[in-house]
């Protein structure tokens, strides 16, 4: 794979919430094209793309859908100029894709628990869908400020009905599901597991302060493996420039991450506290 | 066997982390150093914070060959003191890459770098996609900046040369005459990638500098030429991705080499470089690294 952007055409757009749009497209990374039309694209759920908007910007966005050999989806929350432009595109229009990049979630044999806040559900979704495809029944915990912001809510409700996944959701204003914070719901969900069975796997993505709480909870419940996906400013996306380094371990979110284990995150004093800006200046999260 | 000296700077191995790669965080610099680098060069640091260019700013254009225009993004020397401290506290040998908008700013930044414990200064007078490249493209101005920084600090001064010039030897000679302690050759070569579907250059800055595999033969030739023209140590830089590449630079005349783009694969490269180079020295019945430096000139 050559990590240079390649222009793709948008095939489908889904307005998921008032600020999150999913974009679907066919894409084979540069250098992975195969003459017989078969591509071998290595992908692990949790990986991300650098998305290029010519004349504007290139930003890291998680992969939220992959159907081999070459059908991909990303889910984008409008937070700034580039994401606004991306979400303002239409079917048939183009943008550039580079990747997939970074490390992914560990896909272990146990069904696992997937905990996402807001657009944090996006990188978890390919892992959840892979579990469903493998006839496992993962537990999904979804949370957002209000019902309108619950990402993939309809899809997970359907998966709960048709495939038997355990789906829980909460909103801060109580407009949909339980009222309260996602971390409060997570505790309730973990308490449902029989006290003698050790929970094997918990994957989380969302606002970093929420992830800090999720790690505390995972440790309290002695979860065997906790993994969380982080977000940082990036340039190269391939472990060269060092902009996304988290201290004191000097790990690169784009290459060593974005998915890190709880054990590693516990040693990162930056986790939940500090991020680097484009200059390299470190500021409070 | 692999010890080498760059002026008064004594390195346990001749493999140095190149500027611009992983040089933002003190803890990453320390990690690279402890992975087996003889020294690490920081990202280029200027007098004040600088945002740099928008993305795309770093892309791969061929396998293991990259194009970048980061635009000297840095938090400014005063804030960078914290990162230098983190690296120094872990015993890292750190060469601070400095630049300035004006000549005297190079001196100011270098002075501060000395105070915060840097072990040497590398003058970035050659970033191919920023205005400072004009210093390194001019023999007179190169010698002015060397003299000025020399008068402001006691640290060894290394000049990183710009390959995008007609006569790099002339510039190296004038830096040597002005008292520079060593030369890093080379910085990236100017380049551009145009996306034929988008019909525009891919980098936000339009053009950038080529690094990685493609750069190696260009850099080897420069090192070879400089070895015959200057007496000060030369640090080879450009496209080194395994020990064979490194040995090629030593034979051409480099006293040490810098590794940059190849770091994306992992930090283990430093162990591999040391192992392979040592084995080469033994197999070729040389005593040590010094014994093979410049050997290609004797043939």
Percent of chain B at pLDDT above 70?
97
pLDDT at B132 over 80: no
Could you tell me where the DSSP H helices lie in A111-220? 121-133, 153-163, 182-192, 208-220
A8 touching chain B per CB within 8 A = no
B151 touching chain A per CB within 8 A = no
The CATH number linked to A43 is 2.40.30.10
pLDDT computed for residue A31 by the predictor: 85
Which pLDDT band, with edges at 50, 70 and 90, does A66 fall under? Answer: very high
pLDDT computed for residue B134 by the predictor: 76
Which of A101, A123, A158 represents a domain boundary (last residue)? A101
Mean pLDDT of B102-130: 90
Distance of alpha carbon B189 from the chain centroid: 13
A98 touching chain B per CB within 8 A = yes
Nearest to B23 among A7, A54, A242 (CB): A242
Residue A134 and residue A94 share a domain: no
Q: How far is B224 from chain A (nearest CA, A)?
A: 28
Nearest to B55 among A59, A245, A280 (CB): A59
Residue A129 and residue A86 share a domain: no
User: Does A108 fall in a domain?
Assistant: no
The CATH number linked to A199 is 3.40.50.80
pLDDT computed for residue A111 by the predictor: 86
**ipTM for the predicted complex:** 0.92
pLDDT computed for residue B97 by the predictor: 97
pLDDT computed for residue B250 by the predictor: 98
Nearest to B98 by CA among B118, B80, B124: B124
Domain count within chain B: 1
Copy the structure tokens of residue B84. 């230098």
Spell out a b/e string for B252-277, using b for 16 or more CB atoms within 10 Å of the CB, else e: bbbbbbbbbbbbbeebebbebbbebb
Residue A247 and residue A188 share a domain: yes
Residue A249 and residue A146 share a domain: yes
pLDDT computed for residue A32 by the predictor: 86
Residue A209 and residue A75 share a domain: no
Q: H-helix or E-strand containing A230?
A: none
Residue A157 and residue A50 share a domain: no
Q: How far apart are CA B157 and CA B259, in angstroms?
A: 19
- For residues A31 and B186, which has the higher predicted lDDT (pLDDT)? B186
Residue A123 and residue A56 share a domain: no
pLDDT at A36 over 80: no
Mean pLDDT of B113-133: 85
Mean pLDDT of chain B: 94
Which of A101, A132, A159 represents a domain boundary (last residue)? A101
pLDDT computed for residue A161 by the predictor: 96
pLDDT computed for residue A34 by the predictor: 76
Mean pLDDT of A67-72: 94
Q: How far apart are CA B20 and CA B57, in angstroms?
A: 12
Cβ neighbours of residue A220 closer than 8 Å, sequence gap 6 or more:
none
* Domain region containing B231: 4-50+71-190+211-297
pLDDT computed for residue A107 by the predictor: 82
Under an 8 A CB cutoff, do B59 and A98 touch?
Answer: yes
pLDDT computed for residue B137 by the predictor: 85
Which pLDDT band, with edges at 50, 70 and 90, does B67 fall under? Answer: very high
pLDDT computed for residue A195 by the predictor: 78
pLDDT computed for residue B256 by the predictor: 98
pLDDT computed for residue B136 by the predictor: 82
Mean pLDDT of B176-192: 96
Which pLDDT band, with edges at 50, 70 and 90, does A110 fall under? Answer: confident
Residue A162 and residue A142 share a domain: yes
pLDDT computed for residue B265 by the predictor: 85
Mean pLDDT of B104-113: 95
pLDDT at A103 over 90: yes
pLDDT at A146 over 80: yes
Residue of chain A whose alpha carbon sits nearest to that of B202: A54
| Annotation says B127 is catalytic | yes
Mean pLDDT of chain A: 94
Copy the structure tokens of residue B174. 């004038």
pLDDT computed for residue B127 by the predictor: 65
* Domain region containing A94: 6-101
Q: Which of residues 218-277 of B touch A (CB under 8 A)?
A: 260-261, 263-264
pLDDT in tens, B240-277: 999 999 999 999 999 999 999 999 888 999 999 999 99
Kindly name the residue from B127, B134, B200, B237 that is annotated as catalytic. B127
Residue of chain B whose alpha carbon sits nearest to that of A50: B56
pLDDT at B103 over 80: yes
pLDDT in tens, A169-203: 999 999 999 899 999 999 999 999 887 788 999 99
Q: How far is B289 from chain A (nearest CA, A)?
A: 28
pLDDT computed for residue A37 by the predictor: 61
Under an 8 A CB cutoff, do A3 and B60 touch?
Answer: yes
Is residue B228 classed exposed, middle or buried when 0-12, 13-18 and 19+ CB atoms within 10 A define those classes? exposed
pLDDT at A39 over 80: no
């Amino acid at each position: 794979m050559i990590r240079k952007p390649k222009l793709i055409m948008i095939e489908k757009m889904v307005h998921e919430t008032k600020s999150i749009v999913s974009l679907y497209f066919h894409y084979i990374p540069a250098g992975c094209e195969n003459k017989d039309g078969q591509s071998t694209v290595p992908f692990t759920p949790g990986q991300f793309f650098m998305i290029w908007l010519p004349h504007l910007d290139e930003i890291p966005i998680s992969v939220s859908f992959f159907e081999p050999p070459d059908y991909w989806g990303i889910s984008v929350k409008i937070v700034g100029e580039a994401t606004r432009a991306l979400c303002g595109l239409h079917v048939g229009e183009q943008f550039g894709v580079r990747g997939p990049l970074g490390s992914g979630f560990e896909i272990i044999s146990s069904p696992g628990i997937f905990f996402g806040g807001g657009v944090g559900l996006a990188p978890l979704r390919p892992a959840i869908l892979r579990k469903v495809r493998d006839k496992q029944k993962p537990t999904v915990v979804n949370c957002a400020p209000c019902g309108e912001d619950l990402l993939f809510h309809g899809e997970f409700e359907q998966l709960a009905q048709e495939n038997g996944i355990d789906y829980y959701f909460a909103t801060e204003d109580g407009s949909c599901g339980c009222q309260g914070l996602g971390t409060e719901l997570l505790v309730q969900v973990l308490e449902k597991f029989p006290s003698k069975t050790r929970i094997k796997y918990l994957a989380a993505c969302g606002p970093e302060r929420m992830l800090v709480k999720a790690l505390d909870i995972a440790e309290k419940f002695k979860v065997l493996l906790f993994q969380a996906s982080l977000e940082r400013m990036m340039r190269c996306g391939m472990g060269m420039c060092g902009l996304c380094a988290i201290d004191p371990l000097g790990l690169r979110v784009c290459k060593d991450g974005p998915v890190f284990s709880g054990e590693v995150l516990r040693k990162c004093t930056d986790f939940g506290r500090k991020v680097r800006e484009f200059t390299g200046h470190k500021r409070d999260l | 066997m692999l010890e080498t000296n760059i002026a008064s700077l004594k390195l346990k191995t001749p493999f140095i982390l190149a500027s611009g790669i992983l040089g933002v965080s003190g803890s990453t610099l320390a990690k690279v150093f402890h992975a087996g680098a003889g020294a690490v060069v920081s990202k280029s640091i200027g007098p004040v914070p600088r945002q740099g260019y928008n993305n795309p700013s770093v892309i791969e254009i061929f396998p293991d060959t990259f194009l970048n225009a980061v635009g000297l993004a840095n938090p400014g020397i005063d804030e960078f003191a914290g990162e230098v401290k983190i690296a120094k506290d872990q015993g890292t040998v750190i060469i601070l890459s400095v630049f300035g908008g004006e000549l005297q700013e190079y001196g100011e930044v270098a002075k501060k770098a000395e105070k915060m414990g840097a072990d040497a200064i590398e003058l970035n007078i050659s970033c191919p996609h920023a205005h400072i490249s004009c210093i390194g493209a001019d023999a007179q101005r190169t010698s002015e900046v060397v003299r000025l920084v020399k008068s402001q600090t006691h640290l060894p001064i290394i000049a990183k040369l710009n390959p995008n010039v007609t006569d790099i030897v002339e510039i190296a000679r004038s830096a040597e005459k002005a008292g520079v302690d060593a030369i890093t050759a080379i910085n990236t070569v100017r380049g551009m990638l145009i996306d034929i579907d988008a019909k525009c250059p891919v980098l936000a800055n339009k053009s950038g500098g080529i690094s990685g595999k493609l750069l190696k033969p260009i850099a080897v030739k420069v090192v070879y030429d400089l070895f015959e023209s200057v007496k000060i140590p030369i640090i080879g830089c450009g496209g080194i991705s395994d020990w064979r590449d490194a040995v090629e630079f030593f034979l051409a005349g480099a006293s040490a080499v810098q590794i940059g783009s190849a770091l994306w694969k992992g930090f283990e490269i430093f162990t591999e470089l040391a192992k392979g180079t040592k084995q080469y020295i033994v197999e070729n019945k040389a005593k040590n690294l010094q014994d093979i430096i410049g050997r290609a000139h004797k043939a």
